[in-house]
Structure formats: structure tokens, C-alpha cells
């Protein structure tokens, strides 16, 4: 039995889960998300819990079992609390402006870099920090990764865009002549 898949998902008050043939709809105070139904799994809602079961014990079924439960749990957490990732910009002359759906950054290039977030993702700026937030965990993580990829942190001075909790391992510079 999958250790993740066998755990029931607690449904908080205000969240409704509707199970269909091809998709599961999760609606809550922050919005609505649609989770596709994975093959070889069955989802049932019993009282205040959702339970994901698999049809057989094949290796592929066991993999789908854990995935279906994780996707459904992320949707429930997203419509109740939401998700957020924080990024930090380090570097001399680097600047950040904007917010909402679009931000503009000066990252040491000859031109300012503009980034427009997809629907359902909000960008908030505070000095040299970007907060990416939304109800869809996959979209929030993807947007944060795309922003980070614009100027990855370099190992010598640590300049670039990094996650707030990320540790950049520094390298020693050139050794001088004696």
C-alpha cells in the first residue's frame, strides 16, 4: 500500500469536492481547482474525508495512487490557504518594480527585464523580494522557477535571483601571486 496514497484527505469546512468521470472539482473560499482523474484510481468522499483507492496492485497503479492523492491534497490546501514562494534579488545595481501581474527588473543586462505572470498567480514586490502566490501549487512553483531562471545566482559573489531559503555555496576567487 502506498504510504501517501492510503492516507485520507481531511476536507475543511467551506470546501466542496465533486468527483466526476474525468475530473475532480475542488471549490473553496479562495477559488476553484480542477484535478484530472488518474487512471486506475478511484476517489470517494465520505463525510469530511476524501479517500483515494487503487483498482489493482500493479506497479503503475501504485504510482498513480500516490500521485492522485497528492494532487487532490494540494488542491484542497490551495483553495483554503493558497501557496507562496519568496525570491530574493542580490546584486549591485539590480532593481525591482511593479506588482500584481507584471514586474520589471534591472538585472545587469542592457535592457530591463519584464515578466508577466499567468492567470491565477499574483506577484508582490517588497524592496528586493518577490512573493509569488496563488491557489495552484504547480503554477506558483513554475512561475518562481521561471523568474529565478532569468538571472541564476552565481557562486562567486552570489549575485542573481534566489529563493529566500536557498543557500548558495560560495567558491573562492582567484588566488593572487606571491
Q: pLDDT for 88-138, tens place per residue?
A: 999 999 999 988 899 999 999 999 999 999 999 999 999 999 999 999 999
Per-residue confidence band for 3, with pLDDT thresholds at 50, 70 and 90 = confident
Q: 20 to each of 4, 35, 62, how far by Cα in Å?
A: 22, 10, 21
Cell of 113: 527585464
Are 74 and 63 part of one and the same domain? yes
Cα 113–Cα 154–Cα 178 angle in degrees, nearest 5: 135
Cell of 143: 512561475
Per-residue confidence band for 176, with pLDDT thresholds at 50, 70 and 90 = confident
Mean pLDDT of the residues in the chain: 92
pTM, 2 dp: 0.89
Choosing from 50, 80, 110, the residue where a domain stops is: 80
Choosing from 80, 109, 135, the residue where a domain stops is: 80
- The residues, any chain, with a CB within 8 Å of residue 96's CB and separated by 6 or more, are 89, 103, 104, 105, 106, 125, 127, 128, 130
Burial profile 57-87: b = 16 or more Cβ within 10 angstroms, e = fewer: eeeebbebbbbbbbbbbbbbbbbbebbebeb
Range of the domain at 106: 83-163
Question: What pLDDT score was predicted for residue 4?
Answer: 84
8 Å CB contact between 15 and 73: no
Instruction: Report if residue 172 sits inside a domain.
Output: no
The CATH number assigned to the domain holding 65 equals 3.90.930.12
Are 87 and 158 part of one and the same domain? yes
Q: pLDDT for 20-34, tens place per residue?
A: 999 999 999 999 999
Question: What pLDDT score was predicted for residue 1?
Answer: 56
Amino acid at each position: 500500500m502506498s504510504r501517501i496514497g492510503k492516507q485520507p484527505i481531511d476536507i475543511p469546512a467551506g470546501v466542496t469536492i465533486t468527483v466526476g468521470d474525468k475530473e475532480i472539482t475542488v471549490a473553496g473560499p479562495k477559488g476553484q481547482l480542477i484535478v484530472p482523474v488518474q487512471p486506475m484510481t478511484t476517489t470517494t468522499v465520505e463525510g469530511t474525508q476524501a479517500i483515494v483507492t487503487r483498482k489493482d496492485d500493479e506497479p503503475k497503479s501504485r504510482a498513480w495512487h500516490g500521485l492522485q492523492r497528492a494532487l487532490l491534497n494540494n488542491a484542497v490546501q490551495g483553495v483554503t490557504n493558497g501557496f507562496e514562494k519568496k525570491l530574493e534579488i542580490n546584486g549591485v545595481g539590480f532593481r525591482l518594480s511593479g506588482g500584481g501581474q507584471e514586474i520589471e527588473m534591472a538585472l545587469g543586462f542592457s535592457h530591463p527585464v519584464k515578466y508577466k505572470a499567468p492567470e491565477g498567480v499574483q506577484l508582490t514586490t517588497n524592496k528586493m523580494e518577490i512573493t509569488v502566490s496563488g491557489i495552484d501549487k504547480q503554477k506558483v512553483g513554475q512561475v518562481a522557477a521561471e523568474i529565478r531562471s532569468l538571472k541564476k545566482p552565481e557562486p562567486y559573489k552570489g549575485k542573481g535571483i534566489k529563493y529566500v531559503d536557498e543557500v548558495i555555496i560560495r567558491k573562492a576567487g582567484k588566488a593572487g601571486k606571491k
